[in-house]
């Protein structure tokens, strides 16, 4: 006599196929979500640079020309290590901070936002390359 407690091979195959199709359909959206979430690492690093630059400006009357001069934002890498941080100064009232995706990191394939920029000129910030890169 057969006991009916179990699944047939056909039932297991159908369920596996359905789960596979759902995974394939959902992967692009999930991958895009991960990329946007990982960009927060660059946003955090550049925001730290901006805050430290404003503190430096309030104390010295000009913006710092080097990351090492900034208290709390002197690191040349983002908090999670996905981006390299560089500071460019083109005068006492201007600076540009760049967060460049590391070539060996998970953000190297993010072509649209591989280099995120924060440019401050006379106290006004400009975020690049697009507001979407900054999740805005």
DSSP count for the chain of H helices, then E strands: 1, 4
Question: Of 49, 52, 65, 33, nearest to 99 (Cα)?
Answer: 49
This prediction's pTM: 0.77
Q: What is the pLDDT of residues 32-86, one digit of tens each?
A: 888 888 999 999 999 999 999 999 999 999 999 899 989 888 888 999 999 999 9
pLDDT of the residue at 28: 76
Q: What is the pLDDT of residues 81-134, one digit of tens each?
A: 999 999 998 888 899 999 999 999 888 888 889 999 999 998 899 999 998 898
Alpha carbons 127 and 25: distance in angstroms, whole number: 33
- Domain residue spans of the chain: 9-134
| Structure-token pair, residue 85 | 């941080």
Please say whether the beta carbons of 83 and 100 come within 8 A: yes
Q: What is the pLDDT of residues 74-88, one digit of tens each?
A: 888 999 999 999 999
Report the CATH number of the 9-134 domain.
3.30.700
Q: What is the DSSP string of 104-133?
A: TSTTTT--TTSEEEEEEETTEEEEES-GGG
């Amino acid at each position: 006599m057969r006991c009916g407690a179990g699944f047939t091979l056909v039932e297991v195959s159908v369920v596996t196929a359905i789960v596979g199709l759902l995974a394939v359909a959902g992967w692009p959206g999930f991958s895009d979500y991960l990329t946007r979430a990982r960009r927060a690492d660059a946003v955090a690093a550049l925001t730290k640079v901006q805050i430290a630059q404003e503190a430096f400006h309030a104390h010295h009357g000009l913006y710092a020309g080097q990351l090492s001069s900034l208290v709390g934002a002197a690191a040349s890498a983002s908090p999670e290590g996905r981006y390299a941080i560089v500071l460019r100064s083109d005068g006492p009232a201007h600076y540009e901070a760049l967060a460049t995706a590391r070539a060996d990191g998970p953000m190297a394939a993010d072509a649209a936002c591989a280099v995120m920029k924060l440019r401050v000129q006379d106290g006004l910030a400009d975020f690049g390359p697009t507001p979407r890169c900054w999740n805005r």
